[in-house]
Chain A
Amino acid sequence: MSSEKTTFVYVTYIRATQQKIFDAITRPEIAARYWGHGNVSDWKVGSKWEHVRDNEEKKVNIAGDVIEIDPPKRLVISWSDPAEYDNREAHSRVTFDLVPYEDMVRLTVTHDELEAGSGMANGISRGWPLVLSSLKSYLETDEPMDVFANPCATETAA
């Protein structure tokens, strides 16, 4: 493990089935509800996946490869700025582990191989807690959070 790489581990317990959670990650029309993006791929090992903004522009904000998939228990993908997609060395890695825990599922998201202090590392460390809270809220209460919310946003000022 070289010193300039960093790892984040995020855990949340969700009252839902493994399948529901797995679908919420891999089916774009569901992810759009709580993530504002769909994760688009044929989900075969070696295939490309794209994190596509759910609006008219359909901008691809993240891209990577499917490294490992074992529905509904485990998904490993690589993660990169779309402009850096061809440079596999620069990809970081995201692992989703879904383990039944009492009447819930323990979802662990491990984001590693990240360049310490990079814009991506800073961005994801703000992003994942928000996305996972939103996923939990969406699956348990059908009320997702606004993942683009900004504490200072004056939505009422318009």
Chain B
Amino acid sequence: MDDDKTFKALGDPTRRKILDLLCEKNGQTLGQLCAHMDMKRQSVTQHIGLLEDANLVSTVKRGREKLHFLNPVPLQTIYERWIRKFEQQRLSLLHELKTELEGDQDEQ
């Protein structure tokens, strides 16, 4: 499941930090990202690999450089699946309560 990969990728503070760094400034090189990370380049590469696997980061080659871009599309899917759906339920409960308390105009 795609969602599993997304949640797994998000379940780590280093990877969330990488996403935050890209949110702040999109299209960074590995070197630029490493400058903000207190760990070896190799470890950062591994974390980025997992983020790419989960489709949360996409890369574009520009000349000799590889630029990393935040890809929020899977987050949007999670929002639709895990947040908005429940908000709608809450709203419809409120609506039912309102109908119950005020009476349904159509039936009067």
Q: Which residues of A contact B (CB under 8 A)?
A: 6-13, 108, 110, 128-130, 132-133, 136-137, 145, 149, 151, 154-157
Contact = CB atoms under 8 A, between A and B. Distances in A.
Nearest to A152: B87
Given A9-B58, A10-B72, A128-B73, 16 more contacts: A7-B26, A7-B60, A9-B71, A11-B73, A110-B60, A129-B73, A132-B73, A133-B76, A145-B80, A149-B84, A154-B91, A155-B91, A156-B91, A156-B92, A156-B95, A157-B98
Contacts of B87: 151
Interface string B13-38: 00000000000001100000000000
A156 B71 CA distance: 32
A98 to B, nearest CB: 15
B91 A10 contact: no
Nearest to A109: B73
Nearest to A12: B73
Given A8-B26, A149-B84, A151-B84, A108 B58 contact: yes
A7 B60 CA distance: 11
B56 to A, nearest CB: 9
Q: Which of B60, B71, B84, B92 is the most central at the interface, judged by chain A CB atoms within 10 Å of its CB? A: B71
A10 B80 CA distance: 17
A157 B76 contact: no
A7 B69 contact: yes
A124 to B, nearest CB: 12
A132 B58 CA distance: 15
A151 B75 CA distance: 15
B60 A9 contact: yes
B91 A132 contact: no
A116 to B, nearest CB: 10
B84 A157 contact: no
28 contacts: A7-B60, A7-B69, A8-B26, A9-B27, A9-B58, A9-B60, A9-B69, A10-B58, A10-B72, A11-B73, A12-B73, A13-B2, A13-B55, A110-B60, A128-B73, A129-B72, A129-B76, A130-B76, A132-B73, A133-B76, A149-B84, A151-B83, A151-B87, A154-B91, A156-B92, A156-B94, A157-B95, A157-B98
